[in-house]
């Protein structure tokens, strides 16, 4: 409950962020094949406003998801009295499930995007 209040406040605040115009880049031609350094590539990517927002969101998402595995382990230990081997098995099972979900989700999203790009908005 402690985390729900700031999350709700941030969600309300972010609902005021306007959607970027996605049709302006369709008329641009592709640049010639050029080799750029990592620093230049990072500078170019950092100039994209919506990408900056994605990086910030990824930071907050990771900050919330990363400790979840430890808390879930404690939950299984204290509530369900699962031993260390059982907790390890459950953690690896959920990891494999996440990987399978990513693979399946990527295939479906790719098919849907090829069929009709408007479906993924």
Q: How far apart are CA 70 and CA 78, in angstroms?
A: 12
| pLDDT tens, position by position, 63-85 | 888 888 889 999 999 999 999 99
Q: Are 34 and 42 a contacting pair, CB within 8 Å?
A: no
Q: How many CA atoms lie within 13 A of 57 on its CB side?
A: 9
Mean pLDDT of the residues in the chain: 85
Helix, strand, coil percentages (3-state) for the chain, rounded to 5, are: 75, 0, 25
Query: Rounded mean pLDDT of 15-24?
Result: 73
Banded pLDDT at 115 (limits 50, 70, 90): confident
Which tokens go with 61? 């998402």
Banded pLDDT at 101 (limits 50, 70, 90): very high
End-to-end C-alpha distance for the chain, whole angstroms:
31
Annotated domain spans of the chain: 43-80, 82-121
User: Could you give the dihedral angle defined by the CA atoms of residues 36, 37, 38 and 39, in that order, rounded to the nearest 10 degrees?
Assistant: -110
Q: Is 120 helix (H, G, I), strand (E, B) or coil?
A: helix
Q: How far apart are CA 22 and CA 71, in angstroms?
A: 39
Query: Rounded mean pLDDT of 40-65?
Result: 89
Q: In the prediction, which pLDDT does 92 show?
A: 93
Q: In the prediction, which pLDDT does 23 show?
A: 62
Instruction: Choose the weakest-confidence range: 26-30, 55-59, 83-87, 97-101.
Output: 26-30
Asked whether residue 8 carries a pLDDT value surpassing 80, the answer given is yes
């Amino acid at each position: 409950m402690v985390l729900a209040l700031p999350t709700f406040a941030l969600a309300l605040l972010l609902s005021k962020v306007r959607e970027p115009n996605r049709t302006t880049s369709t008329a641009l031609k592709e640049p010639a094949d050029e080799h750029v350094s990592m620093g230049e590539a990072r500078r170019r990517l950092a100039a994209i406003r919506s990408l900056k927002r994605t990086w910030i969101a990824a930071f907050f998402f990771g900050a919330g998801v990363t400790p979840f595995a430890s808390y879930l382990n404690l939950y299984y230990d204290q509530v369900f009295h699962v031993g260390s081997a059982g907790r390890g098995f459950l953690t690896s099972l959920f990891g494999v499930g996440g990987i399978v979900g990513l693979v399946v989700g990527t295939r479906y999203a790719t098919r849907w995007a090829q069929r009709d790009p408007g479906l993924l908005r």
